[in-house]
Chain A
Amino acid sequence: MSAPSNEEKAGAGSRAKGPVIHRQSIWTRATHWTWVVCLFFLLLSGLQIFNAHPRLYIGQESGFAYDNSVFSIHAERTPEGGVAGVTTVWGQRFETTGVLGFSGGGDQPLQSRVRAFPASVTIPSYQDLATGRVVHFFFAWALVGTMLVWFVASLVNGHLRRDIVPRGADIKGLPGDVARHTRLRFGHGRSYAPLQKLSYGLVLLILFPLIVLTGLAMSPGINAGWPWIVDIFGGRQTARTIHFCVMVLLVAFFVVHVAMVVLAGPVNTMRSIITGKYRIDAGEEER
């Protein structure tokens, strides 16, 4: 929470400098960077896995004799005899040649150019579902392990209660914080701003557990042991679709997160997540 007078001050960068405080514990910093590595490999191996059957459905099964598909990326022959990449979302068709469905240079064999996500965003770069799965499940375990470490540490050291779970004051401060963000004015306080708190809470307490649960819902072994995991999502194929959607939301979070780091002063914010030290604005220290 910023003091009201701060709102009247000029934009980012022009605030008077305050003291350097210890902002991020070693637990927050270590888990943050472990997640960076995990999510990087999970994303790129996940897109590799998706490429093996680049179509999403709603329900228990995949409709082949009927249509329950909600998303697909594929290649089509054009009337001129060429190949086009096509993406469909809820029945809407988009031509995505060069990026989705059909990509890569003309020097490559046609067969390897017909692929949902391009070689630049999959591990391995070529089509190899087996390797994609090996990479994905290793980092899935690492992600879950890190989530547990983070949760316990943050519960014990107060990070969860202090910085993540929104309080009444955060909800009250939300409109003002939205206004500040739209004007790209960022304060540097002792604690997170309301929007920051909400977005971290959304990622850590909702999206992370959701992507793990939808992942488990696709496991035939887990389906036998804990069928409720499939039931809460309304079927294995729906769970797969939600898994994909949560991935899109996490990528969106990443883009905004990095943009905010740059806008809020990359040196100060990066220092706080690497060394824990963070310089707050003058007038913020008394609270």
Chain B
Amino acid sequence: MKKLMLTRRRFLTAAAAGLAGTALAGCDAFDGMMAPGSPVRNFLAGANDLTLGVQRALIGREALAREFSESEIRQGMRPNGATNPNSMDYMFLRQGNFGLYTLEVGGLCEAPQSWSLEELHNMPSRTQITRHDCVEGWSCIAKWTGVPLAHILGEVKPRASARFVVFHCFDVHAGGAGGVPYYESIDMIDAYHPQTILAYGMNGAPLPVENGAPLRVRIERQLGYKMAKYISRIELVEDLSPLWGGKGGYWEDLGYDWYAGI
């Protein structure tokens, strides 16, 4: 019996040691080397290029994100990030119910153009019920209606040198002198993808302000932070580094991966 007690004690001690080891392990030992800008962090972030390369190689260019049925829309779209931009130009446009809004598309293209919201409404449209996946971990199903970006690109005729589509936005966020405006970028593969639309409608109604009115982009094979809201201007560029933090997006400049397909 004594032997059994002893071995039981040994068992408990061993189990406790294992637990304590796990609990103590994390702490702040890795904070410095994981901070944005550190060489270790940059090395680890290289795995995202591998993810992009492998996903692009394995997933067809035209492969569509899952579309859902009307009955699967069980709630409103959860608003996240900026929900009510307070820049002067946005508040002015909002007051007029976006009647004076124009979408300007320029940069590396043959025929830069501007369109009013009404003109965008009169273009070919696509409606899709998709699942929005936030980088935080939650998902929400909603119906989106808008102009395929491919149609817009067909109108402005991108030059061969155009490698990225950049979305400039009205919402200004904390950081830097006078704040940093939201912006995002995608490559031409995602730009021409059939489900990439400039949405002006949501769940059968005009796009609400909290979800990005008057215009937001849907990029259904990536996470929510890529799908810029409150778009003011679209620019075709060859290189992302001259823009703001140089990483191709507001969240990317803060350390998030440019490719958000995972």
Of the candidates A63, A123, A183, A221, the one having the most CB atoms from chain B within 10 angstroms of its own CB is A221
Complex contact A134–B44 (CB within 8 A): yes
Give the distance in Å from the alpha carbon of A55 to the alpha carbon of B139 in the complex.
12
Complex interface: stretch among A75-83, A146-154, A257-265: A257-265
Complex contact B41–A131 (CB within 8 A): yes
Known: A134-B257, A220-B133. A120 touches B66 (CB 8 A): no
Give the distance in Å from the alpha carbon of A232 to the alpha carbon of B133 in the complex.
19
Complex contact A255–B140 (CB within 8 A): no
Complex contact B221–A224 (CB within 8 A): yes
Bitwise interface map of A from 118 to 131 toward B, beta carbon under 8 Å scored 1, else 0: 01111111101111
CB contacts under 8 Å to B, within A211-240, are 218-227, 230, 236-237, 240
Known: A62-B138, A63-B74. A133 touches B68 (CB 8 A): no
Complex contact B136–A129 (CB within 8 A): yes
- Taking CB atoms, residues of chain A closer than 8 Å to B8 are 184
Give the distance in Å from the alpha carbon of A256 to the alpha carbon of B17 in the complex.
11
Say yes or no: is A49 at the interface (Cβ < 8 Å to chain B): yes
Number of A-B contacts (CB under 8 A): 191
- Taking CB atoms, residues of chain B closer than 8 Å to A33 are none
Say yes or no: is B180 at the interface (Cβ < 8 Å to chain A): no
Give the distance in Å from the alpha carbon of A123 to the alpha carbon of B141 in the complex.
31
Give the distance in Å from the alpha carbon of A220 to the alpha carbon of B47 in the complex.
17
- Taking CB atoms, residues of chain A closer than 8 Å to B22 are 43, 121, 251, 254-255
- Taking CB atoms, residues of chain B closer than 8 Å to A119 are 26-28
Give the distance in Å from the alpha carbon of A240 to the alpha carbon of B134 in the complex.
13
Complex contact A121–B26 (CB within 8 A): yes
Taking the nearest CB of chain B, how far is it from the CB of A38, in angstroms? Answer: 12
Complex contact B27–A125 (CB within 8 A): yes
- Taking CB atoms, residues of chain A closer than 8 Å to B27 are 119-120, 125
Taking the nearest CB of chain A, how far is it from the CB of B187, in angstroms? Answer: 13
- Taking CB atoms, residues of chain A closer than 8 Å to B141 are 60-61
Complex contact B133–A259 (CB within 8 A): no
The size class of the interface chain A forms with chain B is 35 or more
Complex contact B44–A65 (CB within 8 A): no
Complex contact A120–B255 (CB within 8 A): no
Taking the nearest CB of chain B, how far is it from the CB of A51, in angstroms? Answer: 9
- Taking CB atoms, residues of chain A closer than 8 Å to B46 are 138
- Taking CB atoms, residues of chain B closer than 8 Å to A135 are 34, 44
Complex contact B25–A44 (CB within 8 A): yes
- Taking CB atoms, residues of chain B closer than 8 Å to A130 are 36, 251, 254-257
Complex interface: stretch among B52-60, B87-95, B115-123: B52-60
Say yes or no: is B21 at the interface (Cβ < 8 Å to chain A): yes
Taking the nearest CB of chain A, how far is it from the CB of B36, in angstroms? Answer: 7
- Taking CB atoms, residues of chain B closer than 8 Å to A43 are 22
Say yes or no: is B243 at the interface (Cβ < 8 Å to chain A): no
Say yes or no: is A93 at the interface (Cβ < 8 Å to chain B): no
Q: Which of B18, B74, B75, B222 contacts A259 (CB 8 A)?
A: B18
Of the candidates B24, B138, B256, the one having the most CB atoms from chain A within 10 angstroms of its own CB is B138
Taking the nearest CB of chain B, how far is it from the CB of A107, in angstroms? Answer: 15
Say yes or no: is B223 at the interface (Cβ < 8 Å to chain A): yes
Complex contact A66–B75 (CB within 8 A): yes
Q: Closest chain B residue to A237 by CB distance?
A: B139
Say yes or no: is A52 at the interface (Cβ < 8 Å to chain B): yes
- Taking CB atoms, residues of chain A closer than 8 Å to B34 are 123-124, 128, 131, 134-135
Taking the nearest CB of chain A, how far is it from the CB of B126, in angstroms? Answer: 16
Q: Closest chain B residue to A56 by CB distance?
A: B137
- Taking CB atoms, residues of chain B closer than 8 Å to A102 are none
Q: Which of A11, A138, A263 contacts B3 (CB 8 A)?
A: A11
Give the distance in Å from the alpha carbon of A60 to the alpha carbon of B41 in the complex.
33
Taking the nearest CB of chain B, how far is it from the CB of A240, in angstroms? Answer: 6
Complex contact A263–B28 (CB within 8 A): no
- Taking CB atoms, residues of chain A closer than 8 Å to B44 are 134-135, 138
- Taking CB atoms, residues of chain A closer than 8 Å to B10 are 184, 262-263
Known: A121-B23, A254-B22. A221 touches B55 (CB 8 A): yes
Say yes or no: is A90 at the interface (Cβ < 8 Å to chain B): no
What are the 3 A-B residue pairs with the smallest beta carbon separation, nearest first? A221-B261, A225-B59, A65-B75
Query: A137-B47, A223-B66 given. 14 additional CB < 8 A pairs?
Result: A49-B137, A60-B139, A65-B74, A119-B27, A120-B27, A130-B36, A141-B50, A218-B262, A220-B220, A236-B139, A258-B21, A259-B11, A261-B14, A263-B10
7 A-B residue pairs with Cβ-Cβ distance under 8 Å, sorted by A, are: A61-B139, A63-B75, A64-B76, A138-B46, A220-B220, A225-B59, A258-B21
Interface residues of B (CB under 8 A from A): 3-4, 7-8, 10-11, 13-15, 17-19, 21-28, 30-31, 34-36, 41, 44-48, 50-51, 55, 58-60, 63-66, 68, 72, 74-76, 78, 131, 133-141, 220-223, 251, 254-257, 260-262
Interface residues of A (CB under 8 A from B): 11-12, 40, 43-44, 49-50, 52-53, 55, 57, 60-66, 119-126, 128-131, 133-135, 137-138, 140-141, 183-184, 218-227, 230, 236-237, 240, 251, 254-256, 258-259, 261-263
